Amino acid sequence: MRIINKLHKRGLALFMALVMCLSLVQVTALAEDEVVANDVIISEDNPQEENTHEHSYAGTVQAPTCTETGKAVYTCECGDTYDEEGEPATGHTPEVLEAVAPTETETGLTEGSRCAVCDEILTAQEIIPATGVVIPAEVQAFLDAVYALYDVPTEQLLQAVEYAETLYDLLTGEQKALEEVYQCKTALDSFRQTMTLEETVEDTVKDEKSLKEAVAKGGTVKLCSDIALNATLVITGTVALDLNGYTLSLADGKAGSVIKVDGQNIEFTLDDSSIDGTGKITGGKGGSGVPYYGNSGGGICVLNGNLVINGGTITGNTAITYGGGVFFSCSGNFVMNGGKISNNSAVGGGGSLYNLEHLP
Ligand SMILES: [Zn+2]
Ligand SMILES: [Zn+2]
């Protein structure tokens, strides 16, 4: 069909006015209007035949967007259609996307912007790399001091550990909480512990000479071997002897006590830290060296001082006079918390234990 728009043109002016009115009103959704115009339609097949059809347009108005002009589209059910240009595009409404400063470990962002209406990114934010961890000099010094411990010669280790500990003490609580600092402190503590253990090992004794030296120094003395003494072990200071499962004896053919305790206000403690409790004192053939008690206390002869027995077995000792196992004078206190005194013998009295207080 051919359409002749004679009156249509006249109608257009009317439509235009209508569109203008619609545009003035805030249109956010679709708006519809009925518009009527008179057109004369002539059949293509028979141009002479006039057929009157009254267009009936339904108009749809589209509001402008940030980037697109608004428009009105009119359509008649006959298929006739036309557009009207509406309000111009509004343009974007920029909104600032704030910059984010980078940290030591997190990346940052430059300032950007986007449209507050349509969310289109107008200026893209760019990634700013992380600044990287900046380690303060005092923290680095401590870390270096700890790492250096692994290469320090043994004889300089104590000094190096103490140096690292000094540096650690200078750190703030916040610095001490840093992961690497924490790990290095743990390593440092291990070095310190190892050295403490080595010191303990140095205190353990394997032979008569080192035993006498350790006893002379005082404190805790731990056997790490059986020892057969050539002479009585004389205790003159406060000493805790840990038999540690080993046997302390007087060598065959030697006379005297295995141990003689003789010191004012001192304490001799006998202990056995071994699991099986196999530590023992044996082979003593009493002899205090003091005329009246001569040949007393085969295992342990206490002339002066206090005696504490927490462990260990005193066995197989002899004395001609008193106390085959233990001879204890009345000068101090004798406490027995554990251990055993058995199978000792004495001719004078107190096969195992002779306490002078019991003398008539
Ligand atoms: Zn129509
Ligand atoms: Zn926009």
The rounded Å distance from CA 94 to ligand 2 centre is 8
Ligand closest to CA 122: 2
Domain end (from 202, 226, 257): 202
Ligand closest to CA 119: 2
Domain end (from 154, 169, 202): 202
pLDDT at 272: 95
Ligand closest to CA 65: 2
pLDDT for 163-204, tens place per residue? 999 999 999 999 999 999 999 999 999 998 877 665 555 556
Ligand closest to CA 115: 2
pLDDT for 71-126, tens place per residue? 999 999 999 999 999 899 999 999 999 999 998 889 999 999 999 999 999 999 99
pLDDT at 5: 44
Going by DSSP bridges, is the β-strand pair 127-128/108-109 parallel, antiparallel, or unpaired? antiparallel
pLDDT for 136-154, tens place per residue? 999 999 999 999 999 988 8
Going by DSSP bridges, is the β-strand pair 313-315/280-282 parallel, antiparallel, or unpaired? parallel
The rounded Å distance from CA 44 to ligand 1 centre is 16
Do 214 and 354 fall into the same domain? yes
pLDDT at 320: 78
Do 213 and 327 fall into the same domain? yes
Tokens describing residue 230: 């050539």
The rounded Å distance from CA 118 to ligand 2 centre is 4
Residues with CB in 5 Å of ion ligand 1 = 55, 76, 78, 80
Whether residue 316 contacts residue 344, with contact meaning beta carbons closer than 8 Å, is answered with: yes
pLDDT at 321: 77
Do 212 and 351 fall into the same domain? yes
The rounded Å distance from CA 89 to ligand 2 centre is 10
Do 314 and 219 fall into the same domain? yes
pLDDT at 49: 46
The pTM (predicted TM-score) of the whole model is: 0.45
The rounded Å distance from CA 74 to ligand 2 centre is 27
Do 117 and 46 fall into the same domain? no
What separation in angstroms does the CA of 308 have from each of 267, 269, 293, 333?
Answer: 7, 5, 21, 8
Q: Is 22's pLDDT higher than 70?
A: no
pLDDT for 38-76, tens place per residue? 555 544 555 544 568 899 999 999 999 999 999 999 999
Do 230 and 338 fall into the same domain? yes
pLDDT for 303-317, tens place per residue? 889 999 999 999 988
pLDDT band at 327 (very low <50, low <70, confident <90, very high): confident
Ligand closest to CA 118: 2
Do 222 and 299 fall into the same domain? yes
The rounded Å distance from CA 125 to ligand 2 centre is 17
Q: Which residues pair with 302 in a beta bridge?
A: 261, 328
pLDDT at 252: 87
How many folded domains does the chain comprise?
4
Do 192 and 212 fall into the same domain? no
The rounded Å distance from CA 48 to ligand 1 centre is 20
pLDDT band at 16 (very low <50, low <70, confident <90, very high): low
| Higher pLDDT, residue 236 or 360 | 236
Average pLDDT over residues 242-258: 91
Tokens describing residue 328: 């204890």
pLDDT for 278-304, tens place per residue? 999 999 888 655 555 667 788 998 888
Label residue 215 exposed, middle or buried (CB < 10 Å: 0-12, 13-18, 19+): buried
Domain with 101, as residue range(s), is: 94-128
% the chain with pLDDT above 90: 49
Q: Is 21's pLDDT higher than 90?
A: no
Do 111 and 192 fall into the same domain? no
pLDDT at 288: 59
pLDDT band at 25 (very low <50, low <70, confident <90, very high): very low
Q: Is 228's pLDDT higher than 90?
A: yes
Instruction: Round to whole Å and give the CA distance between 228 and 211.
Output: 11
Do 170 and 210 fall into the same domain? no
Do 28 and 111 fall into the same domain? no
Do 195 and 211 fall into the same domain? no
Domain end (from 164, 179, 202): 202
pLDDT band at 3 (very low <50, low <70, confident <90, very high): very low
Instruction: Round to whole Å and give the CA distance between 84 and 22.
Output: 12
Ligand closest to CA 82: 1
